Amino acid sequence: MSTPSDQTKNQTLEPHIPITRTSLIPITFLTIMALLMMFPLVWMLSASLKVPATAMKIPPELWPYEWRFENYAKVMTHPQVPLLLFFGNSLKIAVVVTLGQLVTTTMAAYAFARIQFPARNIIFLILLSALMIPGQITLIPLWILMRSLGLIDTHAALIIPSITSIFGVFLLRQFFLQIPRELSEAAKVDGANHLRILVQIMIPLVAPALTTLAIITFVGAWNNFLGPLIFLQSWENFTWPQGIVMLRGQYGEGAITQQMAAVTLGVIPVMIFFIAANRKIIQAISMSSGIK
Amino acid sequence: MNGFEQSKAINTTQSVGSSRSLLQWNQRRSDIAWAYLLILPTILGFLIFIAGPVIAGLGLAFFRYDIVSAPKFIGLANFERLAADPRAMVVLQNTVYYTFGMVIFDLVLAMALAVAINSKIPHMLKRFYQAIFFFPILVSGAAIAIVWQLLLASDIGIINYFLGQIGIEKIPWILASDWVKPSVIMVTVWNGVGFNMILILAGLQGIPNYLYEAADIDGANGFQKFSRITVPLLSPVIFFIIVKGIIGVLQLFEAPFVLTEGGPGDASRTVLMYLYESFRQLKIGYASSVGFVLFGIILVITIIQFVVSRYWVFYDND
């Protein structure tokens, strides 16, 4: 969403577009669609706060009559499903993967964008082709590989294959390509080697892109469901999506409100990142499509 | 900037001494060394976790492997079994259904949203709507499917309640085989349409206004402007979305898994779910043959798409 400073900044560049009669058509359409899109999330939030018995009442009450925040406390301390542990597992995996990707993709993107070396373009094209491979082909062999390494049922099995990211390299390379050559030339003349150029000059310049990549990577790792399903066995290693599905098997009073509370908790980190950086993320994706 | 001025000075100097070219040669070797070092992790990752597994996965299709004993080469037996398996047929039909349903629905919806946002509405609204439609992308597919499962419940689900208010009978969204696939499509498109919308928006913003103005002068109506200007100029993006969409259909897993577990029967089962099931039963070789066939199908379809694209995708520089 736009912040006040965003608004004033853009008002000087873009002419204000008033709402006219013809624009009411798209606006009505968009408003209806927006309501439909937000509806599941709103319902999730409202259900998570309801008195358990009224969660699925017919006719439904959209605005919870009483707010029961203790649904959240109850689900976090659920006797059979250790949600806190699951969230912790997810957090650990997501953080390590994100940091790892930031390091490896920055290095590779810089090299592809800024250094001339033999077979550069061919190597890059081959890497790009990997983006088109549907993940299902690699899942089973990866599992066999992890098994032979004794890494099944460890978080390492989820982390290590994700330390590098070709998409990330692709994305960052676009940004690196836009930095004027003179900057690195000047540094080279001053005697800097590539590492110094990278760290001291390039990284600060692509910082917004790094933030965006970090968020996209974190969210992907945070939400990952199939990976943990395949590589993890003991429930104490499970991630939060698995935990939520486990919760579904629990019955009894408050089951639904607690499930909704748990899902809301899983969505909150994503929401925070989104509010903080949604324009940058959207921009990064538009850029990476680089269709022309 | 001191370094900047220095580099300009050096570049304009006339010296072509052998000492300078030796310096350049060493610089270049150091450059190359650096480059390979910097791309090493990514290359290793690619070889070990992508290229290797793909090749191994394709090879495993020709073996019988169940973890407990060593892999046994059985030639085409897995494929013969696959071809004769009625469930595999159902899964294949589902995949065709999903492909047409999901790709087209997603594309049309994304296009409608993008065009609406791109029209003459206040900038603040543009950003607001963009954010709203984009947010669901970041939401976990598995987690939101649990929410959807409650929304789509036949008797107590709120969606059927609202339908009842406008006189429509309760729909067994996730219970009847006729409805499970549309439900899966609906949930998955909810999750993903924002992404394609952003891509199309970026494409729309690249279309210069003078084209529309010229069309206005020639008396074109809205539909003509859309089909003669917008769509052709968007064709690269549309092509990308279709290719990506088809590949995405083969990775469809979370929504059907959580919503219906593939049921009723196999009505909503996807390829990846079928592969996962074989994997869980430790029929590794068989699962790999499923993957193999799918990889082949995707490869063929993608190649066909690229070939056919010459006839309808319009790039700027042609």
Domain boundaries, chain B: 16-60, 78-312
Count of CB pairs separated by less than 8 Å, A with B? 300
Query: Taking CA atoms, what residue in B is nearest to A56?
Result: B156
pLDDT in the model for residue A14 = 62
Note whether B50 contacts A169, CB cutoff 8 Å: no
Predicted pLDDT at B7 = 56
Shortest alpha-carbon distance between residue B156 and chain A (Å): 6
Q: What is the pLDDT of residue A291?
A: 41
CATH number of B78-312: 1.10.3720.10
ipTM of the complex: 0.83
> Would you state the pLDDT for residue A95?
96
Residues of chain A contacting B195 with CB distance shorter than 8 Å: 285
Contact B153 A56 (CB under 8 A): yes
Residues of chain B numbered 239-298 and touching chain A (CB < 8 Å): 240, 243, 247, 250-251, 253-254, 258, 271-272, 275-276, 279, 284, 287-288, 291-292, 294-295, 298
Q: Least CA distance to B35: which residue of chain A?
A: A111
Exposure of A180 by Cβ count < 10 A (0-12 exposed, 13-18 middle, 19+ buried)?
A: exposed
Residues of chain B contacting residue A118, judged by C-beta atoms under 8 Å apart:
32
* Cβ distance of A219 and B316 shorter than 8 Å: no
Q: Please check whether residue B299 touches A, CB under 8 A.
A: no
For residues A182 and A176, what is the distance between their CA atoms, to the nearest angstrom? 13
Q: Which residues of A touch B41 (CB under 8 A)?
A: 103-104, 107-108, 163-164
End-to-end Cα distance, chain A: 28
Considering the entire predicted model, what is its pTM? 0.85
Residue-averaged pLDDT of chain A: 83
Number of alpha carbons in the 13 Å side-chain half-sphere of residue A249: 6
Of B38, B138, B141, nearest to A111 by CB-CB distance is B38
pLDDT by residue for chain A (292 residues), tens only, comes to 444 444 444 444 567 777 777 778 889 999 999 999 999 999 898 888 887 777 777 666 667 767 777 888 888 888 778 888 999 999 999 999 999 999 999 999 989 988 888 889 999 999 988 887 877 788 889 999 998 898 888 999 999 999 999 999 998 998 888 888 887 777 777 777 767 776 777 888 888 889 889 999 999 999 999 999 999 988 889 999 988 888 777 665 567 888 888 899 999 999 998 888 877 788 777 776 654 3
Partner-chain residue, chosen from A137, A169, A240, that has the shortest CB–CB distance to B57: A137
Q: What residues 43-82 of chain B have any CB closer than 8 A to a CB of chain A?
A: 43-46, 48-54, 56-58, 60, 67
Q: Which two tokens stand for residue B284?
A: 């590794």
Assess B308–A contact: CB distance below 8 Å, yes or no: no
Residue of A nearest to B66 (CA): A144
Amino acid, res. B10: I
**Rounded-to-integer distance, Cα B303 and Cα B292, Å:** 16
Chain A: nearest CA to B305, how far in angstroms?
A: 13
Between B132, B247, B298, which is nearest A34 by CB?
Answer: B132
Q: Which of B35, B143, B156 sits opposite A241 (nearest CB)?
A: B143
CB B207 within 8 A of CB B237: no
For domain A83-289, the CATH class is mainly alpha
Coil, helix or strand for A268?
helix
Q: Is B236 in contact with A291 (Cβ distance < 8 A)? A: yes
What is chain B's pLDDT, residue by residue, as a tens digit (318 residues)? 455 665 555 555 545 555 668 877 787 888 888 889 999 999 999 999 999 998 888 888 888 887 777 888 888 888 888 888 899 889 989 999 999 999 999 999 999 999 999 888 888 888 899 999 999 999 999 999 999 998 998 887 888 888 888 888 888 888 888 899 999 999 999 999 999 999 999 889 888 888 888 888 888 787 888 888 888 888 889 998 998 898 889 889 999 999 888 878 888 999 889 989 988 888 888 888 888 888 888 888 888 888 888 888 777 654
Spans of all domains in chain A: 13-73, 83-289
pLDDT at position A8, please?
Answer: 43
Contact A144 B56 (CB under 8 A): yes
Q: B170, B155 in Cβ contact below 8 A?
A: yes
Output phi, psi for B153, to 5 deg: -55, 135
Asked whether the beta carbons of residue B295 and residue A137 sit closer than 8 angstroms, the reply is yes
Nearest CA in chain A to B198: A286
**Distance (Å) from the C-alpha of residue A150 to the closest C-alpha of chain B?**
14
- Give the number of other CB atoms < 10 A from CB of residue B274: 26
